[in-house]
């Protein structure tokens, strides 16, 4: 192997090239990013960075000098427009052609946007995915202004928390019956609804956006129940879609992400994928995990397999969200749960929700309860399921479950 080319300079791409060098890969490595800045952390963008608590340089995953020191060619502000699988080359903007022996797609995902017919192209309408989005949104966060958050998932709730902490008047609308309906149990929805309301956020569930109002800049919103709101700007947090345009145009298999096997290979044996753009196998089912942990772990597994280690990747899903002074930590996937058991933690406001399918433990949501998160994560990764009655019993010594 002489030249590994990685397309996408986010968390997965940065982890992959660093792992290659750490494991002794001696060939050429090129990391290509569309943004003008080196690989950086995305989670703090909607939290500490927007609040002004974190400087841009502290977002960087590695010092800029790291890449040159490691013999990694970092191509920023560069886009890949085509893959020639037969010739094993990629074409960059400006028609530059670059050969590869192994190509890795770590292209991430794009935020879903509102169509122009509903006002999505008006000035003052923002998404929240990358550094440019955060920099564009920051000047809007002035105390006393009115913001509409569209979408009650984690992206929308984090944006609402930042805006509320900055002293804005915040209204959040969620078309589904409750916030977090797609990803969490009603108990977790209830917890965060109450948290946001104590910080002055107006949450309207079961009502969606009909359209944003304004000539060139958003000035208001009409909701699906016919009501209208005056707003100064809007933030759209209605999910993301995997960035698969390159893979599609190259004829790779795509199924809610770039289809990969247990080793991270795509349908072309010379092309690999990792991170938010990749669809991988989990307990026999095909899933796509949108998390920092998966991006790093999957990318490092691909790096090892490019070097011939032949190691199947075993996803270990875990996620987090910071809202106000609450840290939510999630272990596992709750898909298909039938029951939820709540435990109160030692600290005020700390609790955890344990998802079961029958007697099988699937996932844990832990709010300001890191001990329950770590115990749940270890149990889930070990394939162990304590009896639901033990979880439901407040007298149970949870730590003892790990030794049982």
List the CATH number of the domain containing 49: 3.50.50.60
Residues 189 and 285 grouped into a single domain:
no
Beta bridge partners of 109: 242
pLDDT reported for residue 204:
98
Tokens of 231: 């707003």
pLDDT tens digits, one per residue of 214-242: 999 999 999 999 999 999 999 999 999 99
Residues 91 and 71 grouped into a single domain:
yes
φ, ψ dihedrals at 145, nearest 5°: -80, 165
Displacement of CA 368 from its chain's centroid (Å)? 20
Residues 99/89, Cβ–Cβ less than 8 Å: yes
Residues 258 and 230 grouped into a single domain:
no
- Say how many domains are in the chain: 3
Residues 220/125, Cβ–Cβ less than 8 Å: no
Residue 389 in this model has a pLDDT that exceeds 90 = yes
Residues 105 and 188 grouped into a single domain:
no
d(CA 159, CA 45): 10
Q: Which of 237, 270, 229 is nearest to 99 (CA)?
A: 270
pLDDT reported for residue 345:
87
Residues 232 and 249 grouped into a single domain:
no
Residue 399 in this model has a pLDDT that exceeds 90 = no
The side-by-side arrangement of strands in the sheet containing 80-84 is: 80-84, 89-92, 97-99
Residues 171 and 129 grouped into a single domain:
yes
In a domain, 319, yes or no: no
Q: How confident is the model at residue 264 (pLDDT cuts 50, 70, 90)?
A: very high
Instruction: Answer yes or no: pTM beyond 0.85.
Output: yes
In a domain, 314, yes or no: no
Helices (H) and strands (E) counted in the chain, each on its own, are 10, 26
Q: How confident is the model at residue 404 (pLDDT cuts 50, 70, 90)?
A: low
Averaged pLDDT, 297-318: 96
Residue 21 in this model has a pLDDT that exceeds 70 = yes
Residues 139 and 105 grouped into a single domain:
no
Residues 46/159, Cβ–Cβ less than 8 Å: yes
Q: How confident is the model at residue 47 (pLDDT cuts 50, 70, 90)?
A: confident
CB atoms within 10 A of CB 97: 11
Averaged pLDDT, 112-134: 95
Residue 162 neighbours by CB under 8 Å, 6+ apart? 46, 47, 50, 51, 141
Which helix or strand (DSSP H or E) is residue 90 part of? strand 89-92
Tokens of 119: 């006002």
Residues 279/256, Cβ–Cβ less than 8 Å: yes
Residues 91 and 19 grouped into a single domain:
yes
Farthest-apart Cα atoms in the chain, separation: 67
In a domain, 247, yes or no: yes
> What's the domain range around 63?
3-110+241-306
pLDDT reported for residue 309:
95
Domain stops at, among 236, 268, 293: 236
The pLDDT mean for the chain works out to 95
CB atoms within 10 A of CB 377: 20
CATH (domain of 330): 3.30.390.30
Virtual torsion, Cα 356, 359, 362, 363, nearest 10 deg: 50
Residues 249 and 103 grouped into a single domain:
yes
In a domain, 311, yes or no: no
With tokens 């397999």, the residue in question is: 305
d(CA 8, CA 79): 9
Residues 229 and 121 grouped into a single domain:
yes
């Amino acid at each position: 192997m002489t030249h590994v080319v990685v397309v996408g300079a986010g968390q997965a791409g940065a982890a992959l090239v660093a792992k290659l060098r750490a494991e002794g890969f001696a060939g050429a490595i090129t990391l290509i990013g569309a943004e003008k800045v080196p690989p950086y952390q995305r989670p703090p963008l909607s939290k500490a960075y927007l609040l002004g608590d974190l400087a841009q340089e502290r977002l960087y995953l590695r010092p800029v000098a790291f890449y040159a020191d490691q013999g990694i060619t970092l191509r920023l502000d560069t886009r890949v427009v085509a893959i020639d699988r037969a010739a094993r080359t990629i074409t960059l903007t400006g028609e530059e052609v670059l050969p590869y022996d192994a190509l890795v797609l770590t292209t991430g995902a794009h935020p879903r946007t509102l169509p122009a017919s509903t006002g999505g192209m008006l000035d003052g309408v923002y998404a929240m995915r990358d550094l440019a989005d955060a920099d564009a949104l920051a000047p809007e966060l002035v105390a006393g202004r009115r913001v509409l958050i569209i979408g009650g998932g984690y992206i929308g709730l984090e944006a609402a928390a930042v805006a509320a902490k900055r002293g804005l008047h915040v209204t959040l609308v969620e078309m589904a019956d409750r916030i977090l309906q797609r990803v969490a149990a009603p108990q977790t929805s209830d917890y965060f609804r109450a948290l946001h309301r104590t910080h002055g956020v107006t949450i309207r569930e079961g009502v969606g956006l009909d359209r944003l109002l304004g000539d060139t800049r958003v000035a208001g919103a009409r909701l699906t129940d016919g009501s209208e709101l005056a707003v100064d700007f809007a933030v759209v947090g209605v999910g993301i879609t995997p960035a698969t345009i390159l893979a599609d145009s190259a004829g790779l298999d795509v199924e809610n992400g770039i289809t990969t096997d247990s080793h991270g290979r795509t349908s072309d044996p010379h092309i690999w994928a990792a991170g938010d753009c990749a669809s991988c196998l989990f307990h026999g089912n095909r899933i796509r995990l949108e998390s920092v942990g998966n991006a790093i772990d999957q990318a490092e597994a691909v790096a090892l397999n490019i070097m011939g280690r032949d190691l199947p990747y075993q996803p270990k899903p875990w996620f987090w969200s910071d809202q106000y002074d609450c840290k939510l930590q999630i272990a596992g996937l709750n898909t298909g749960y039938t029951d939820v058991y709540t435990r109160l933690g030692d600290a005020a406001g700390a609790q955890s929700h344990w998802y079961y399918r029958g007697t099988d433990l699937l996932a844990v949501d832990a709010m300001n309860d890191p001990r329950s998160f770590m115990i749940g994560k270890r149990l889930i990764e070990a394939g162990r399921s304590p009896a639901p009655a033990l979880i439901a019993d407040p007298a149970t010594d949870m730590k003892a479950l790990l030794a049982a």
